[in-house]
Amino acid sequence: MLDELTEKLEKALKKITGQGKITESNISETLREIRRVLLDADVNYKVAKDFIEKVKEKSLGQEVINSVTPGQLITKIIYDELVELLGNQSSELEVNPNGLTTIMLIGLQGSGKTTFSAKLAKYLKNKKQNVLLVAADVYRPAARSQLKILGSQINVPVFSIDESNDPVTISVESLKYAKENGLNTVIIDTAGRLHVDDEMMIEAAKIKERVKPTQTLFVVDSMTGQDAVNSAKAFHEKVDFDGVVLTKMDGDSRGGCILSIRAIVDRPVKFVSLGEKLDSLELFYPDRMASRILGKGDIVSLVEKAQAQFDEKEAEDLEKKFRENKFDLDDFLKQIKMIKKMGSLKSLLGMIPGIGSQIKNADVDDKQLIVVESIIQSMTKQERANPKILNGSRRKRIARGSGNTIQDVNRLIKQFEQMQQMMKMLNKNSGKFNLPNMKNFRIN
C-alpha cells in the first residue's frame, strides 16, 4: 500500500542526505521532487503547493544539529507535516452507547459502498454488535440483491422493502425494525450519486435528516484523481459527513486523494478498505500512514494485528511445542489458519519495515496457503503428528486426496523439515522463542 509513493519520496530525500546543511539551493531540487511525487500521487495541486511551502518554510528556518543530517531533518519535517495533514490522531468510529447506532454511507457510484457496508457489518459483528444492513439503494439494478447476498455470507440480516422505491421510507422503517428485533447497529447503504446531481443530493440530505445517523461516512475510491476535492467538498456541504472511508487500497494507487480530502474538508479518515474479502478492513492511523509513506514501515500495526488474532493460550502452547521441538504438521496447519485470519500475506509483509518496497513485485500468493492447508488436511492424524512416516505411497495418496501433485506434497514436507531445523537452531541460540521470520516463511 502506498509503497510507490514511499519509494519516490525516498529517492527524493536521498538527494539531500549527506549534505552539510539546508540551504535554499540544496533544498529546491528536493522540494521540486517532492512536488512531483505528490502530484503523481494525485494529491490535489493546491494541497501539494501548500505542503511544499510549509516544508520549505520550516526547513529553511532550521538549524542543523551535528547529530542529524539535513536528510533526516527534512524527513522529520515532512513526516510531521504529513501527519498533520492526515489528521494528527486516529479516529475510532463513534457509537451510541445507550441505544441504536446508525451509520449512513454515502459516495459516488462505484466507490465501493455496498462492499464496504458488508465489511463494516462484519467488523462490528465481531465486536459483538447486533448489526442490521439496510438496502437503501433503489436505483442500481440488483443493488438490493447484492447486499442480501453479502449479508447472508456474513450472517447479518438485511432490511429491504423491495416494492418501495423511496430510500427515505426504507431507512426510517429500518430503524423501527432494528428496535423491534433487538438490533443495536444499523448500517444504511445508500445509492451512489454524483455530487452535481442536486435531486440526489437532496435525497441523501433528507435520509440523513430523518434518520439522524450517529455517523455518516463518505466512501471514496483511493484511485480518485484531482476531482476528489470537488466531490468531497460537495458531499460535505450538501449532506455533511463525519468521516471518510478509503476503498480499494489493495491496488497500487498512491492514494494521494487522502491528503487532498483531509486538507479540503476537515474530517478524519475512519477506515481503509483493501481487498474483496469481507474481513479486509483496517482502521486508519495517520501517523502510521505517514511512516508508511516515508518508508519506515508499519511494524506497530503488524504486531497489533497479530495480537488480535492469536489466541494467547494457543500461542503459549505453540511456543512450548517449539521449544521442545514437538511442533508437528497439525500445529503448522493451525498457524496457517491464523495467518489467513490476519489478512493477505502481501499486506502483512508490507507492514514490515524495509521490505515494503522489495516485495512490491514479488508474487505472494495467498492461494499457496490453501494448497498447503489442503495437503495437511488430507493426512491422517498419525501422519500429521509424525511426518517421518510419510513414504512414497502415503505421499501419492495425499496428493490424490488433496488434488495436488506429489511435487507439491514433497515440497511442503521438505519445507516443514527445514522449518523444524530452523526452530532447533533458534532454540539453541536464544532459548527464547520468537515468531518465525515471515521472510523465511516461504511457501511456494
Long-range Cβ contact pairs of 325-330 (< 8 A, separation 24 or more) = 325/420, 325/423, 325/424, 325/427, 327/419, 327/420, 327/423, 328/384, 328/385, 328/386, 328/387, 329/376, 329/379, 329/383, 329/384, 329/385, 329/387, 329/416, 330/376, 330/381, 330/384, 330/385
Grid cell 454511507 in the structure block, residue: 105
Is the CB of residue 16 less than 8 Å from the CB of residue 34? no
Q: Stretches 19-27, 122-130, 210-218, 245-253: which one binds another protein (CB under 8 A)?
A: 245-253
The single-letter code of the amino acid at 50 is: D
DSSP for 80-117 reads HHHHHHHTSS--PPP--TTS-EEEEEEE-TTSSHHHHH
**From the list 75, 101, 185, 253, which residue makes contact with another protein (rule: CB under 8 A)?**
253
Grid cell 539531500 in the structure block, residue: 16
Is residue 343 part of an annotated ligand binding site?
no
Residue 224 interacts with another protein (CB under 8 A): yes or no: yes
Is residue 107 part of an annotated ligand binding site?
yes
**From the list 72, 130, 146, 169, which residue makes contact with another protein (rule: CB under 8 A)?**
146
Residue 367 interacts with another protein (CB under 8 A): yes or no: yes
> What's the CA gap between 168 and 188, in Å, rounded?
11
Q: Stretches 62-70, 90-98, 142-150, 303-311: which one binds another protein (CB under 8 A)?
A: 142-150
Residue 243 interacts with another protein (CB under 8 A): yes or no: no
Is residue 23 part of an annotated ligand binding site?
no
Angle at 382 (CA atoms; ends 378, 385), nearest 5 degrees: 95
Is residue 110 part of an annotated ligand binding site?
yes
Buried b (16+ CB within 10 A) or exposed e, 248-260: bbbeebbbbbbbb
Is the CB of residue 118 less than 8 Å from the CB of residue 150? yes
Residue 298 interacts with another protein (CB under 8 A): yes or no: no
Residue 401 interacts with another protein (CB under 8 A): yes or no: no
Would you say 2 or 178 has its CB closer to another protein?
Answer: 2
Is residue 193 part of an annotated ligand binding site?
yes
> What mask, x for binding another protein by CB under 8 A, covers residues 68 to 87?
--------------------
Grid cell 511456543 in the structure block, residue: 319
User: Measuring CA to CA, which residue among 3, 81, 8 is closest to residue 357?
Assistant: 3
Is residue 151 part of an annotated ligand binding site?
no
Is residue 189 part of an annotated ligand binding site?
yes
> What mask, x for binding another protein by CB under 8 A, covers residues 101 to 140?
-------xxxxx--------------------------xx
Is residue 388 part of an annotated ligand binding site?
no
Is residue 18 part of an annotated ligand binding site?
no
Residue list 203-222, contact with another protein (CB under 8 A)? 221
Is residue 362 part of an annotated ligand binding site?
no
- Least distance from C-beta 315 to another protein, angstroms? 31
**From the list 29, 198, 209, 276, which residue makes contact with another protein (rule: CB under 8 A)?**
276
Is residue 250 part of an annotated ligand binding site?
yes
Phi-psi region of 212 (alpha: psi -120 to 50; beta: other; left: phi over 0): left
Grid cell 459527513 in the structure block, residue: 241
CA atoms 235, 225, 272, 343: torsion sign: positive
| Pair type for strands 185-190 and 131-136 | parallel
Tell me the backbone φ, ψ of residue 217, rounded to 5 degrees.
Answer: -115, 135
| Pair type for strands 243-247 and 269-273 | parallel
Residue 195 interacts with another protein (CB under 8 A): yes or no: yes
**From the list 89, 155, 176, 194, which residue makes contact with another protein (rule: CB under 8 A)?**
194
Residue list 174-193, contact with another protein (CB under 8 A)? none
- Least distance from C-beta 443 to another protein, angstroms? 15
> Binding residues for another protein, how many (CB under 8 A)?
47
> What mask, x for binding another protein by CB under 8 A, covers residues 4 to 43?
--------------------------------x--xxxx-
**From the list 223, 272, 293, 349, which residue makes contact with another protein (rule: CB under 8 A)?**
223
> What mask, x for binding another protein by CB under 8 A, covers residues 309 to 348?
----------------------------------------
Residue 153 interacts with another protein (CB under 8 A): yes or no: yes
Please report, in range form, the residues annotated as the binding site.
107-114, 189-193, 247-250
Binding site feature residues for GTP: 107-114, 189-193, 247-250
Which chain residues interact with another protein by CB under 8 A? 36, 39-42, 45, 108-112, 139-143, 145-150, 153, 194-196, 221, 223-228, 230-231, 248, 250-254, 256-257, 276, 363, 365, 367
